[in-house]
């Protein structure tokens, strides 16, 4: 079954008279959808735009006679973030994917704190995460970087790869299999280069990163779904400048390892600092949990509290 074919359950439960189509990309109030073996650019009804804007990967309800997207099927997974400060609220990024490939360059793009945030973002989406540290052939401390990131992101696998040098590329293929994946990360990290390799052709444009800071210039300008030649699909995305958890995201989902241990703490409101009977501190002391995971949980919890105080 193709990732573009709607599941039978969605077809059977769709409103009478409406077809179910996969959203390939969004463009200024329109959605390009795959319907009856063809890609069609259709307007989205104003009512639907006010209620919930479609995103790439959505299953849309289409009024074929009118040629308009009128609704959305429930999302199995959804990558949501806190919207940029100018907008406020939360923002859906992509939907209905199985695995997120978190791409980060082992150059000026490298940031353990950002990797923590991306991993937390994916954990709250309901999908799996795999961290790919790119440009590994150009550095000497790739193994050390993998270990440091692995300590910070919980259960997500972490691998060093280099698309240009042909290092570790099977890792990305195995992570995807025949599933639907999304590639996320900063501009210039190598997302589109990886996407092109997986597609087997230079479908997405790429540019050289700036030498002074290893940052890109948003060569990819929209989120778009592509079928992979061996089965499955990949959604390429522009770089995310701001990576904050959505206001309604559950930190227990983002830190399931810590939450499981916290259930054994003596106090229900334990801060995992110096309280007696703290199961989390015991795990850290015994080497079963990295201190960096507790620090990341604490940072995001404080950020959430600050956001709530400001009414965002």
Q: Indicate whether 172 and 284 sit together in one domain.
A: no
Phi (first) and psi of residue 196, to 5 degrees: -60, -40
Q: Indicate whether 82 and 216 sit together in one domain.
A: yes
Instruction: Compute the distance between CA of residue 271 and CA of residue 162 in angstroms, rounded to an integer.
Output: 40
Average pLDDT in the chain: 88
Q: How confident is the model at residue 247 (pLDDT cuts 50, 70, 90)?
A: confident
SS3 297: helix
Q: Indicate whether 206 and 230 sit together in one domain.
A: yes
**CATH (domain of 120):** 3.40.50.300
Choose among 250, 236, 124, 125: nearest CA to 185: 236
Instruction: Compute the distance between CA of residue 268 and CA of residue 310 in angstroms, rounded to an integer.
Output: 26
Q: Indicate whether 90 and 232 sit together in one domain.
A: yes
Mean pLDDT confidence for 172-195: 91
Q: Indicate whether 225 and 151 sit together in one domain.
A: yes
Query: Which of these three, 72, 102, 121, is where a domain ends?
Result: 72
Residue 281 belongs to domain spanning:
251-309
The answer to whether position 243 is within a domain reads no
The answer to whether position 2 is within a domain reads no
Q: Indicate whether 199 and 232 sit together in one domain.
A: yes
pLDDT of residue 160: 95
DSSP-assigned beta bridge partners for residue 72: 60
Residues 50-75 pLDDT 10s: 999 999 999 999 999 999 999 999 99
State the total domains in the chain. Answer: 3
Q: Indicate whether 58 and 96 sit together in one domain.
A: no
Q: What share of the chain in percent tops pLDDT 70? A: 90
The answer to whether position 293 is within a domain reads yes
């Amino acid at each position: 079954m193709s990732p573009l074919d709607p599941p039978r359950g969605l077809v059977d439960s769709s409103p009478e008279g409406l077809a179910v189509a996969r959203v390939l990309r969004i463009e200024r109030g329109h959605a390009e959808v795959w319907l009856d073996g063809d890609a069609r650019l259709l307007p989205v009804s104003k009512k639907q735009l006010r209620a919930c804007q479609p995103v790439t990967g959505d299953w849309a309800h289409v009024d074929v006679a009118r040629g308009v997207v009128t609704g959305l099927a429930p999302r199995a997974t959804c990558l949501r973030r806190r919207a940029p400060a100018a907008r406020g609220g939360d923002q859906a990024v992509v939907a209905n994917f199985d695995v997120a490939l978190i791409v980060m360059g082992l150059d000026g793009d490298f940031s353990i704190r950002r990797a923590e945030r991306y991993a937390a973002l994916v954990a709250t989406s309901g999908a799996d995460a795999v961290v790919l540290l790119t440009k590994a052939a150009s550095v000497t401390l790739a193994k050390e970087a993998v270990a440091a990131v692995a300590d910070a992101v919980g259960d997500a696998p972490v691998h060093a790869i280099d698309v240009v040098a042909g290092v570790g590329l099977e890792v990305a293929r195995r992570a995807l299999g025949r599933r639907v994946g999304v590639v996320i990360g900063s501009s210039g990290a190598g997302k589109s280069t990886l996407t092109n390799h997986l597609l087997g052709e230079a479908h997405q444009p790429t540019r050289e990163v700036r030498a002074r800071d290893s940052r890109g210039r948003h060569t990819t300008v929209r989120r778009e779904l592509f079928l992979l030649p061996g089965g499955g699909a990949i959604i390429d995305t522009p770089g995310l400048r701001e990576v904050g958890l959505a206001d309604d995201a559950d930190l227990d989902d983002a830190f399931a390892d810590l939450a499981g241990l916290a259930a054994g703490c003596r106090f229900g409101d334990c801060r995992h600092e110096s309280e007696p009977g703290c199961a989390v501190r015991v795990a850290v002391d015994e080497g079963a949990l990295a201190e960096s995971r507790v620090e990341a949980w604490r940072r995001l919890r404080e950020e959430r509290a600050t956001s709530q105080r400001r009414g965002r």
